[in-house]
Copies of this chain bind each other. A is one copy, B any other.
């Protein structure tokens, strides 16, 4: 349902394009935040981690800008139908990306504690889940950029893999704590980190879902719920 017709008032198109590009930029930033946070974590690069923390401000700023701009578009243009859905989706996607950025920052903030702890377990698993999350964000943003409801649906499906992977990593880390109580603090940090990455996956799914709504006007049937991965399946 890609609409190729332009608005009679071209500046309306310009506005929408600008809004999309703001969101797109945010998405790109958030994704690289996540990547760099993981890199910093794996390479124990405290400096890089600090930069990631610093860079999050930019995303926050962008989000506020995008939000104001979306509100301004609504106020100025009274968009309807597809246009309205698109603006609302942008508004909500912006908030979600900001959250992804925050997760990235949160991961980066834990880097110093982890690197100073000397604990080096589960790094392959973290790298793996990190790249899964990053890819998911990437796909979600691509579906947004291309207004592609099919890709969006694929993203939504892709989230399950990350959830499963999180479960197994979580088990592993719990095991490590049980193995050596010294590991408790760093492993707990790592648990939070992988939880964050799992949440990033959920949020990417949210984005995809909004893209689907914006493009088709219909909600995806099984709406995956954010913050809902409890890891309940773990035997206790």
Contact = CB atoms under 8 A, between A and B. Distances in A.
A230 B188 contact: no
A89 to B, nearest CB: 10
Interface in A40-98: 56, 60, 64, 71, 74-75, 78, 80-81, 84-85, 88, 91-92, 95
A196 B229 CA distance: 12
B181 A177 contact: yes
B110 A232 contact: yes
A147 interface: no
A228 B85 CA distance: 29
Contact of A234 (B185, B219, B232): B185
User: How many chain copies?
Assistant: 2
A236 B78 contact: no
A51 to B, nearest CB: 16
A109 interface: yes
21 contacts: A56-B225, A64-B223, A74-B84, A75-B81, A92-B92, A99-B226, A102-B226, A103-B227, A105-B225, A106-B228, A110-B230, A110-B232, A113-B232, A113-B234, A116-B236, A174-B184, A174-B185, A177-B177, A178-B184, A185-B234, A192-B230
